[in-house]
Amino acid sequence: MRKDFDPETVKADGRSAAKGFLFDPTAPGPWRGSLAGETIGSPVTVLAYGNDTPGEGPPLHVHPYDETFVVFAGRARFFVGDQVIDATAGEAVLGPAGVPHRFVNLGPGRLQTIDIHHSDRWIQTDLA
């Protein structure tokens, strides 16, 4: 049993649990959807991305906040600044704030990621 903190030291902030629509699993195309944190009172925004084509992925872009990529299926190659990081299902990759990044499907098969933007809304500048 974990006990990382004393629950008596944390006070609820008054928010209720909330639910929002992230994506339609039957929708075509790589961008399945997004859920802005501000919609559900959360400090993070979540995106669902997936594609079936090796070499395909989002363009080079940058955010003013961190982004965490969680690979749920397949294999991806991430380009984060000067680093190249290969990741497979079950692994997560950090794209630090202000560092240009992109990723591609390494194949074979489908790449599926959940991208966590550490902001209550999606803010992005495409560089390519």
Question: How far from 66 is each of 12, 43, 51, 97, CA to CA, in Å?
Answer: 26, 12, 23, 4
Helix (H) or strand (E) holding 39: helix 37-40
Percent of the chain with pLDDT over 70: 100
The structure tokens listed for 82 are 């000067």
- The pLDDT-based confidence of 31 (bands split at 50, 70, 90) is confident
Contact criterion met (CB below 8 Å) for 30 and 76: no
Give, as one character, the DSSP assignment of residue 74. Answer: S
| Dist CA 89 CA 66 (whole Å) | 21
Which pTM does this prediction carry?
0.88
Tokens of 54: 């090796």
- The end-to-end CA distance of the chain, in Å, is 48
Structural contact between residues 48 and 33, judged by C-beta atoms closer than 8 angstroms? yes
The tens digit of pLDDT for each residue in 78-118 reads 999 999 999 999 999 999 999 999 999 999 999 999 999 99
